[in-house]
Amino acid sequence: MEKTRHGKTGLASMRAGVDRKTGRKYIRLGQLPSELGVKERLYRTREDVFAGDWPIIEKMLTDAPELEAKTIFDWMNEEAPGKYEPGQLRTLQRRIHRWRVTEGPEREVFFGQEHRPGEAMQMDFTHCDKLNVTIAGELFPGILHGARRSK
């Protein structure tokens, strides 16, 4: 982000879509966020509270992959009341999502078709040999192709 001609950091920050303090920081550093080279954190900041129960959770997910994290979390709270806090549900959801992506069952891949009327043509093919179409008394063995604009 570059300071504007009028020297107002707040206005320049607003136009860039960042907070005024963030704008000041980048102007002071003289670098863009992409130039700072911030490294992704690869370590945990807290102990994994689900590590002890993860083999059970993983077995449940393997047996019934459609189970939701909330259901598993509720079950775990019934089995060991007070062991987990309500705020740890989101942690379990993230952990289960990561498991589904890396180790979970294969997901069906499909490409949805979207029909936009008026933008595409509809095609119709008719095999004439099945309909016994004749032209000038002779059987027409070809394929008729009809196209019309969508409404």
Please report where in the chains the tokens 């498991």 appear, as a residue. Answer: 99
Q: Measured at the alpha carbon of residue 38, what is the angle toward residues 37 and 42, in degrees to the nearest 5?
A: 130
Average pLDDT rounded to a whole number, residues 22-47? 82
pLDDT tens profile 75-124: 999 999 999 999 999 999 999 999 999 998 888 888 887 777 766 666 77
**All residues at 6 or more sequence positions from 14 whose CB lies less than 8 Å from its CB, including other chains:** 20
**For residue 1, what pLDDT is reported?**
46
Listed by start position, the domains of the chain span 1-38, 54-102, 117-151
In whole angstroms, what is the distance from residue 25 CA to residue 132 CA?
80
What percentage of the chain exceeds 90 in pLDDT?
34
- pLDDT, one tens digit per residue, over 49-66 is 999 999 999 999 999 989
**20 versus 32: which is more confidently predicted?**
20
- Tokens of residue 106, six digits: 């294969």
The pTM for the full model equals 0.51
Strands (E), 2-142: 121-127, 134-135, 138-139
32 with 26: CB under 8 angstroms?
A: yes
Burial of residue 133 (CB within 10 Å: 0-12, 13-18, 19+) is: middle
Per-residue pLDDT tens digits for 4-23: 556 677 787 888 888 888 88
Compute the distance between CA of residue 56 and CA of residue 44 in angstroms, rounded to an integer.
22
Tell me the residue type at 14. M
